Amino acid sequence: MDQPINLGEKLGLLSEHWSPRVVAEMNDYQFKIVKLEGEFVWHSHEETDETFMVLSGSMRIEFRDRVIELGEGDLYVVRKGVEHRPVADAECSVLLIEPKGVVNTGEAGGDLTAKNDVWI
Amino acid sequence: MDQPINLGEKLGLLSEHWSPRVVAEMNDYQFKIVKLEGEFVWHSHEETDETFMVLSGSMRIEFRDRVIELGEGDLYVVRKGVEHRPVADAECSVLLIEPKGVVNTGEAGGDLTAKNDVWI
Model pLDDT for residues B88-115, shown as the tens digit of each residue: 999 999 999 999 999 999 989 999 999 9
| Ordered structural domains, chain A, with CATH | 22-99 (2.60.120.10)
Is the Cβ–Cβ distance between B46 and B94 less than 8 Å?
Answer: no
For the segment B3-12, the average pLDDT, to the nearest whole number, is 96
CA dist A119 and A3 (Å) reads 15
CA dist A33 and A54 (Å) reads 10
Q: Which of B53, B58, B60, B78 to mutate to test the interface with A (most CBs of A within 10 A)?
A: B53
Task: For residue B24, give the nearest of A2, A50, A75 by CB distance.
Answer: A75
Is the Cβ–Cβ distance between A120 and A31 less than 8 Å?
Answer: no
Q: Which of B77, B80, B82, B93 to mutate to test the interface with A (most CBs of A within 10 A)?
A: B77
A27 contacts B76? CB cut-off 8 A: no
Q: What residues have CB less than 8 Å from B78, skipping those under 6 apart?
A: B45, B49, B50, B51, B52, B61, B84
CA dist B94 and B52 (Å) reads 6
Q: pLDDT of A30-72, one tens digit each? A: 999 999 999 999 999 999 999 999 999 999 999 999 999 999 9
Strand partners, B104: none
ipTM here = 0.95
CA distance, residue B103 to nearest chain A CA (Å): 17
Q: What's at A43, amino acid-wise?
A: H
